[in-house]
Structure 1
Amino acid sequence: MLTLIAVVSSAGGAGRSTVTAHLAAQLAYASHPVVVLELDAQNSIGSVLGLREACGKGVLSPGVAPDCWHSVLCDTPAGVPLLPAGRTDPTTLAALVQWLQQDTGGLRRQLDALGLAPGTRVLIDTQRLPDMAAQAAVAAADLILGIVPVTTTGYVTQPDLMAACAGRVQMVPNLAAANSSFNNDLLHLMQARAGEAVVPLRIHRDEAISTMAANGKTLANAGFGSQAALDFARLAAWLMRATTPDEVLDRSGRGEK
C-alpha cells in the first residue's frame, strides 16, 4: 500500500520543493522506496534532484491524462523517481483540479496503477495554499507535512496553514538559525501555538543547500557533515516512524523509541 504525503505551506518562499527533494533523496539513500509527484506548476523540483533540463512533459502538461502518468515517470540522478509537473497552461490546470475535486479517490488510484513497490512513500510537492490542487492533495494524503519558515511571515501564516489542513498537519520548521535569539523566539512561539503538531526537529539555514543546488546534487549524496544533511536524516527517520504502523514498529524492535 502506498503512503501519500502532501508537502504544503501557507507562506511564500517556505521551501516546499527544496524540502521535498532533499527528504525524498534521503529516503532513497536509506533504501526506502519513494516517489515524488510534482503538482507545482513551477516545474522546478527536477533540477534539485539533479536533472540538467526541466521536463517538458509531465502530469500538468496538455495531453497527459492521469491514466497516462506512467509515460512521464522518470529517473533522477538522486535516485528518486519523479512524476514531474512539465509545462502546462491554465486550461490543463483547471481540468486537473476539476478531476481531483470530483474524483476524490482518483489520485490514489492513478498512483496505484503505476505498480510502485509496496510501502512506497509518495511525496506530493504542491503550490502554496489555498491552491485548489494543493487542497485536493491535502484531502487525499495520509500525512500532511506543513513547511513553516521560521520567519515573521511563517509565524503570521501558521494559523492559516493549520486551518487549511483542518488540524491534520505536522509542521516542519524550516530556515531556522540557531545563532539568532529572535529566530529562536519565533520558533518557541510557533511550538507553543501548535504544540505536538510541530515536528520535534528543525531544518537549519545552511550554505550546503545552495552549494548542492549549484552542483545538481542532494545533501544525501554529497552533503556529508553539513547541519542540513543531519536535519534531513532526522526528518526522514521521523517520517518513517510516523508512517509505519505501530505493530510493524513493535516487531522491528523500534516501538518504544
Structure 2
Amino acid sequence: MLTLIAIVSTAGGAGRSTVTAHLAAQLAHAGRPVAVLELDAQNAIGALLGLRKTCETGVLSSGVAPDGWRAVLRDTPAGVPLLPSGRTSVANLSAMAQWLQGDVGGLRRQLTAVGLPDGARVLIDTQRLPDAIALAAVAAADLVLGIVPVTTAGYVTQPDLMTACDGRVQIVPNVAAANSSLNNDLLNLIQGRGGDAVVPVRIHRDIAVGMAAANGVTLAKAGDGSQAALDFIHLEAWLQRAMDVGEGSEGTARGGTRR
C-alpha cells in the first residue's frame, strides 16, 4: 500500500519543492521506496532531482489523463521516480482540481496503477494553499507536512496553514538561522503556536542547498558536512518513525498516526 505525503505551505517562497526533493532523495539514499508526484505548475522539481531537461509532458499537461500517468513517469539521477507536472495551463489546472475534488479516492487509485513499489512513500509537491489542487491533495494524504519558513511571513500565515489542513498538518520550520536572534525569536513563536504539531527538526539556511541545485544534485549525494544535509537525515528519520507508528495501528494515517 502506498503512503501519500502532501507537502504544503501558505507562505510564498516557503521551499516546498526544495524540501520535497531533498527529503525524497534522502529516503531513496536510505533504501526506502519513494516517488514524487508534482502537482505544482512551476514544473521545477525535476531539476532539483538532477534532470538536465525540463519535463515538457506530465500529469498536468494537456492530453494526459490520470489513467495515462504511467507513460510520463521519469527516472531521475537522484534515484527518485518522478511524475512531473509538465507544461500546463489554467484550463488543465481547473480540470485536475475538478477531478480530484469529485473523486476522493482517485489520486490513490491512479498512483497505485502507475506500478510504484509496494509500500512506497509518495511525496506530493503542491501549489501554495488555498489552491484547490493542494487542498485535494491534503484530503487524500495520509500525512501532511506544512513547510513554514522562519520568517515574518511564515509566522503570519501559519494560522492559515493550520486551518486549511483542518488540524492535520505536521509543521516543518524551514530556512532557520541559528546565528540570528530575530530568527530564533520567530522560531520560538512558530513552535509556541504550533505546539505538538511542530516536527522536532528544523531545516537550516545553508549555502549547500543552493550549490546542490546549481550542480543538479541533491544533498543526499553531495551535501556531506553541511548542516542542511544533516537536517534532512533527521527529517527522514522522524518521518520513518511517524510512518512506522502509523503502520503499526489500524485505520488511515492522519497527521502522523493511524487511528
Q: TM-score with structure 2 length normalisation? A: 0.95
Letter in 1 for 2:155: Y
Q: Distance in 2 between matches of 1:101 and 1:247?
A: 26
Deviations 1:190-222 (A, max 9, x none): 111110100001000000000001100000011
Q: How does 1:23-62 map to 2 (within 5 A)?
A: 23-62=23-62
**1:82-231 equivalences in 2 (<5 Å):** 82-231=82-231
Tell me the matched-pair count. Answer: 249
Q: Which amino acid aligns with 2:181?
A: S
**Cα distance in structure 1, aligned partners of 2:116 and 2:25:** 17
**CA RMSD, 1 decimal:** 1.1
1: distance between equivalents of 2:107 and 2:229? Answer: 31
> Post-superposition, which runs of at least 4 consecutive aligned residues in structure 1 deviate over 2 A?
245-249
Secondary structure, aligned partner of 2:123? strand
Change (3 A) 1:126 1:246: closer
C-alpha deviations, 1:89-118, integer Å up to 9, x for none?
Answer: 111111111000000100000011112111
**Which one-letter code corresponds to 1:150 in the other structure?**
V
Distance 2:41 2:244 in 1: 31
Cα deviation, residue 81, structure 1: 0.3
SS at match of 2:153: helix
Distance (Å, rounded) in 2 between the aligned partners of 1:229 and 1:174:
13
Change (3 A) 1:246 1:154: closer
Q: CA deviation at 1:246?
A: 5.9
Q: Which amino acid aligns with 1:48?
A: L
3-state secondary structure, aligned to 1:188: helix
1:5 has 2:5 as partner? yes
Amino-acid identity (%): 73
Q: Distance in 1 between matches of 2:192 and 2:42?
A: 34
In structure 2, what residue type is equivalent to 1:168?
R
Cα shift at 1:245 = 3.5
SS at match of 1:10: coil
Distance 2:244 2:101 in 1: 28
Q: Which runs of 5+ in 2 are unaligned?
A: 250-259
CA distance in 2, matches of 1:125, 1:99: 18
2: CA distance between counterparts of 1:247 and 1:141? 14
Q: After superposition, give the CA deviation of every residue in 1:37-91 in whole Å (9 maximum; x if it has no partner).
A: 0000000000000000110000000000000000000000000000000001111
TM-score (norm 1): 0.95
- Partner residue, 1:236: 236
Aligned to 2:256: none
Whole-angstrom distance in 1 between the partners of 2:155 and 2:78: 32
Map of 1:12-27 to 2, 5 A cutoff? 12-27=12-27
**Cα distance between partner residues in 2 of 1:240 and 1:99:** 31
Give the letter aligned to residue 66 of structure 2.
P
SS of the residue corresponding to residue 212 of structure 1 reads helix
CA displacement, residues 167-196 of structure 1 (integer Å, 9 cap, x when unaligned): 000000000000011101111111111101
Tell me the amino acid that sits aligned with residue 116 of structure 1: L
Return the offset for 1:247: 7.1
